[in-house]
Chains A and B, each alone.
Chain A
Amino acid sequence: MAGSGPTDTRPLSPHVQIWKWHWTMAGSIFHRISGVGLYGGAFLIGAWLIALASGPEAYALVESIAFSLPGQILLFLWSMAVLYHFANGLRHLIWDGPMVGFSPKVASLWSMFNFAFAIIGAAVIWSLASFF
């Protein structure tokens, strides 16, 4: 918020299209994408909670949307975003705290692990949720 003129002259972050795709780069940009997705998702979770407080009619409406096919797809993507942002967020905390995991090999493997964690974790959660 330091810009005093009409346009801030400080450089912008590199946009996603100029990067060469590799695991750690993908790991970083998907942290941001999942974060923006969860920002939107929080408003939908909020709608569920507000509907619950509003009464059975409002709740039935939200429930019908959530259990529809687009709703289920959105919820599955939401759960993947939560798991990815959670796993990669822990990595950020480990980077900042114990400061380990920076070597290229470890960093790449860790990125792959986080993607796998999100996809497999979401599949496991949804399987468990539909069985019990």
Chain B
Amino acid sequence: MATSAKNVRGLGSAGTGTQHHIRQRVTAIALAFLVPWFVYSIIVACKAGYAGALDWVAQPVNAILLILTLSAALYHMRLGMQTVIEDYIAKTGTKQTLLILSTFAVIALFAATILSVLKIWITAGA
């Protein structure tokens, strides 16, 4: 009953799908609550102009909800893009390059947006 390892290696499940699936669903549940708030709020904030939008982000409740929305959305979309890349790109090198680029881009966006929220909140609270 010996299995030739070289014949099966790389052909089966990667063994990490369950964690991916659960994280995709948990972020989705969070976003089901956060997105309606976000869509309403960002329209109100945009219509209020520069000063009004600053005042909106500077409210602690809004700053916290904004950080939660960004965190859940960016995690969710990184997972989603991972699935899209894995579905359509067969070449291992191209696939892994795109996966890494997507991860870097999302983390860069996360850092820049969270810092922006913190800057506005801290500046207003001084």
Contact = CB atoms under 8 A, between A and B. Distances in A.
B33 to A, nearest CB: 11
A39 B87 contact: no
Interface residues on B, range: 35 or more
B113 A46 contact: yes
Interface of A: 1-10, 12-13, 15, 32, 35-36, 38-39, 42-43, 45-46, 48-50, 52-54, 56, 59-60, 63, 66, 79, 82, 86, 89-90, 92-93, 96, 125, 129
A8 B92 contact: yes
Interface of B: 9-14, 16, 25, 28-29, 31-32, 35-36, 39, 42-43, 46-47, 49-50, 53-54, 57, 66, 73-74, 77, 80-81, 84, 86-88, 90-93, 95-96, 99, 105, 109, 112-113, 115-117, 119-120
Contact of A15 (B16, B88, B117): B88
Contact of A53 (B12, B29, B93, B116): B116
B57 A8 contact: no
Given A32-B84, A90-B32, A49 B25 contact: no
A49 B80 contact: no
Contacts of B77: 35, 38-39, 42
A3 to B, nearest CB: 4
B90 A49 contact: no
Contact of A125 (B35, B43, B46, B47): B43
